[in-house]
Amino acid sequence: MLLLGPKNRPYTEAIAHTIKLEYFECEGIVAPWFRELVVAEMNYFAELNEIPFVKGDACVVSIGTAKSLTPGRISIHLYTNNQRLTACVRNEQCPVFRSITLIPKGEVLYRSYFLSDMSRKLIAQHCVTDKGKLHSDTTCYTVD
């Protein structure tokens, strides 16, 4: 699913930094099959909320820094195109935002999806368990 080295760190260099997050290219970190899965799930949620689909090619992985609320937290961010990716990652302008946060639950990982469109004041959250069970309108932090 993800290719990470010691301490759950990518083998590649970060492409951008903020005080709370480090960003890395998805290529070489997110396995192609896993990227295909999260893109399909994200587009399902996008359809429910009537926001544009993503293809998965404009993608970054973020890892929470020591100054983050959740240091070490790994998320995958998907954008409609590279211009949106650059605007969000480098300029922190993210009017339409989609992320998948990987939430450890014992020996498995749940996928917590977050979608927003600030122009419509839309925020949607969904949790998908390791077995593929959907919990709508909640994060995985609240799901057992």
Check whether 92 has a pLDDT greater than 90: no
Beta-bridged to residue 97, according to DSSP, are: 116
Residue entry with tokens 């070490």:
72
> How many CB atoms are closer than 10 A to CB 71?
11
Q: Provide the residue count of the chain.
A: 144
pLDDT-based confidence at 96, cuts 50/70/90?
confident
Q: What's this model's pTM, rounded to 2 decimal places?
A: 0.94
| Residue closest to 44 by CA, chosen among 126, 143, 131 | 126
Q: Is 78 helix (H, G, I), strand (E, B) or coil?
A: strand
Q: What is the pLDDT of residues 4-62, one digit of tens each?
A: 999 899 999 999 999 999 999 999 999 999 999 999 999 999 999 898 899 999 999 99
Q: Where are the domains of the chain?
A: 12-142
